Amino acid sequence: MGVSTVTLESLAPDANGLLTILPLVLYTLMAVAWLWFSFPTLKGRQRAYFIVSFVTMTYVALAFMKSPYLYLMVLAISATFSFCTYVVDVPRRSASVLLAFLGFLLLLPSEVSHTLWVLWFMSVSLQNYFFYKRGVVKARGDLVKSTFFWGGIVLVNLLFIYPSLDKLSLSSFIISGGFASVLPFFLSVGLSPALEYLFNFLSSLTLLELSNLDHPLIKRLQVEAPGTFHHSLLLATLSEQASDDIHANGLLTRVGCLYHDIGKMKRPIYFIENQAYFGVSNPHDYLNPRMSKLIVTAHPIDGMKLGEEYKLPDAIQAFMPEHHGTLICGYFYAQALKEEGKGHVTKAQFRYSGPKPQTRETAIVMLADAAESAVRALNAPTPDQVDALLEVIFKQRIEDGQFDECPITMQEIWKIKKSFTKGLSAIHHQRVNYAEKISQVRQAGKPSSMGKGYIQPSV
């Protein structure tokens, strides 16, 4: 190729070898820095850095052992990680960088030119960037499709570097290609619980398990707070659609909705949606507004305690406090103002403790939660009325700074509003008053063609 090469031998611990390792160390630092900034809200990210460092160190140690098939191992690791980034919900940019980084490890000790290495880096990053879809696995079939997809990418990249691997026979090339394509499937399925624990990630498969309505917490919610259960189901449908519309993680949003109000199970009758079911009047009518505020704002904290008890992932628990952010309990604040007078009450005393939404998914649930209950209070609204009401709700939350810590754009917020208007108009559409129609027909003495008194229902 006419360009300098980096070989296994050059990694020997002499002066030249150290110079060769230096770029690797720098590259590791860059990758760690990238991960640091790519996962601002991920807890336990130190574990991810530990793994990256561990892989790097293992690699360097093996390089010193001068293993001729070292690249096969690194290729398998590379493919496994790439596949996992496909199954697990990792930001696309981070996945591209991680993948390219592992590709770099693959090529560094082999007799491959720097030009090829740069091409590899660009090729894998671009492929990952354009083909990667978040939260794509919703059934086992999707997992198999993903395997074929990544297998294809690995093979294409192998073909790309094959001419420069002159020590490799065609048969071992085919075997290693097949191995690197199929191995990720078994590894990622078998190791996914361990990987999720180590990286504190949440795979689509875990989300699917949590979305099962037979989950013990959901079962309890259904019995102990039935009104909240139905509210959560409605919210899940509404929010998942809006999430898909802005290309956020719809599955995560759906599951987050199912669990967002589980804390209400502790004192269900203090929440309006459960009072009719239990046949009780509103207990807040007999309480001091400050006491009511304390009871109502405790439900996110109670939810998180239950989440810990039932080992819900952190990403799901985040929906509990973030769907209320630092919003004001408006009704109780107004009551307190009335009872105690302006000088004695501050807005801060009637706010939820937060944090504000940190992700687009929790921001969607905050908006859906308010939109759903406000529209429910309207009597047979038209789409225009729904739209006008949502506009007020959305503006209030934006002006209150609830999305200041969340990577959501104004364009996305208005797309969410459009999606909610459609969804809520479909749920709460005007219904035909059949009793009225029957009496009109009878008065006019014109039975329908389908028989006396029969009214063709209009949808």
> Rule CB under 5 A: which residues touch Fe ion?
261, 369
> Nearer Cβ to Fe ion, position 240 or 369?
369
> Nearer Cβ to Fe ion, position 5 or 373?
373
CB of 372 to Fe ion, least distance (A): 8
Dihedral of CA atoms 241, 401, 393, 233 in degrees, nearest 10, equals 40
Give the C-alpha separation, 345 to 342, whole Å. Answer: 6
> Nearer Cβ to Fe ion, position 89 or 261?
261
Give the C-alpha separation, 180 to 150, whole Å. Answer: 9
CB of 314 to Fe ion, least distance (A): 18
Residues 6+ apart with CB under 8 A from 5: 111, 112, 113, 114
> Nearer Cβ to Fe ion, position 121 or 270?
270
CB of 304 to Fe ion, least distance (A): 12
Give the helix/strand (H/E) hosting 82.
helix 70-87
- Token match 């989300």: residue? 207
- Token match 């008065």: residue? 443
CA neighbours within 13 Å on the CB side: how many for 100? 24
Task: Tell me if residue 448 falls in helix, strand or coil.
Answer: strand
CB of 303 to Fe ion, least distance (A): 8
CB of 326 to Fe ion, least distance (A): 13
Nearest to 111 by CA among 65, 161, 174: 161
Angle CA(242)–CA(244)–CA(250) in degrees, nearest 5?
Answer: 95
CB of 299 to Fe ion, least distance (A): 6
Looking at the DSSP assignment, which residues form a beta bridge with residue 112?
6
> Nearer Cβ to Fe ion, position 261 or 412?
261
> Nearer Cβ to Fe ion, position 137 or 406?
406
DSSP 8-state symbol, 184: H
DSSP 8-state symbol, 209: H
> Nearer Cβ to Fe ion, position 89 or 369?
369
CB of 270 to Fe ion, least distance (A): 12
> Nearer Cβ to Fe ion, position 195 or 262?
262
CA distances from 146 to 10, 73, 141, 180 (A): 37, 21, 9, 14
DSSP calls for 42-73: -TTHHHHHHHHHHHHHHHHHHHHTT-TTHHHH
- Token match 């293993």: residue? 67
CB of 213 to Fe ion, least distance (A): 17
